[in-house]
Amino acid sequence: MSALAEPSAYSRIDVKPGHERRVLRGHPWIFSNELASSTVEFEPGQLVRVYASRERFLGVGYINPHSLIAVRLLRRTDGPVDEGFLAGRLDAALELRRRLYPQEEAVRLVFSEGDRLPGLVVDRYADHLAVQVTTAGMEKLFPAILSLLEKRLAPRCIVARNDVPIRRLEKLAEGVEVLHGEPDPDLTVTYEGLRLAVDLMGGQKTGLFLDQRDNQRALLPGLSRGEVLDCYCYQGTWGLLALRAGAERTTGVDTSSYGLDLAARHAEANNLADRTQWVKGDVLGVLKEFRSRGRTFDMVILDPPAFVRSRKHVRAGLRGYLNLNRKALDVVAAGGVMITCSCSHHVRPEVFADTVAHAAGLASRHVRLLSRGGQSRDHPSQITAPETAYLKCLTLQIE
């Protein structure tokens, strides 16, 4: 890291005249077509100083000639990206989580651009850490980050969950690796009063889905009653929390045998197994079957994986959201509640809401909007970068 300490050693890159406005408003990304010169001579992850026309300094970031997002800014003022700089960013992120969730065992400690450490995710599960690095620039900085995590948190184990396709776009290898200690094969944590098993070496994400915590806290108490249908339930968290909040029974649907096995284990561990049913199958097919049988639910939860992975898939993804919500509305009992979500960051909140409204019209259901939600506070977004506010959550009463 000492070689990174002198900013004058960083290469220079210029933005085309007129293309700096978004960056000046605070956006942390510079796209390859916004640069004034070729990037082929740069190494992936190389630190650069970025300038606009008339020698206006924009910031220090790292560059990747293989990526559409060519530069991700790390700082707006001129200065080093060294151990001290990284420690300051990490300490700020950790302090925020101490204030937000002081007693929680399962928390996202670092959320990429939201904590101004682009390309880095760190999740804590009790005394274990799961880390994910998604950019070449953060890969170069990560040895210093790893040392800081060990010093600040003294974890029993650190696992790198770098098995994500986004690394391919940065020409990085994919895989899962133990970086420190040995993972507990029986690791469990308390999440919103539930005891949940965490598999750091397998499963989806880094072990658990943590971005719905605030929505679950706010929505389920007071609204949970009767029969609940949890679509794309994976490990069963939504449905089990609904039972704790007053529902009588929950049915979870997913295509993942691994997830459903975990959901059943979680139900058993929390003394809720006799009030649960887990169905392996395609959600759309199961919804169609329920409709044909005239089966309805007092609460339906839709928390699917992202339907839109890139801008070119927006139109098809919106058709998917329309079809899903249309079919789900058919199985909500009169006066019941539907919680519908999208984690596709290419779909803006107003567009998602319009799509759900369209589905309500097609289903001939009167819908009242009770609330709009987003990702939990340990997944902060940058207000100047709408793409970082990826999660949309609408709570609706259906008549």
For 138, phi then psi, to 5°, come to -70, -30
- What 3-state class would DSSP assign to 234? coil
Question: DSSP assignment, residue 54?
Answer: G
DSSP string of 61-104, one letter each residue: EEE-TTSSEEEEEEESSS---SHHHHHHHHHHHHHHHHHH-TT-
Question: DSSP assignment, residue 20?
Answer: -
Burial degree of 315 (CB within 10 A; 0-12, 13-18, 19+) = exposed
Q: Cα torsion for 259, 260, 263, 268, to the nearest 10°?
A: -140
d(CA 10, CA 257): 49
Which residues are marked as active site? 343
Query: Please, what is the end-to-end C-alpha distance for the chain in angstroms?
Result: 61
- What 3-state class would DSSP assign to 229? strand
d(CA 221, CA 2): 52
Q: Cα torsion for 262, 100, 389, 31, to the nearest 10°?
A: -110
In this structure, the strands spanning 69-75 and 29-31 are: antiparallel
Of 89, 48, 82, residue with least CA distance to 65:
48
For 14, phi then psi, to 5°, come to -115, 145
Query: How many other C-beta atoms are found inside a 10 Å radius of the C-beta of residue 390?
Result: 18
Structure tokens at 381: 């977004």
Total count of residues recorded for the chain: 399
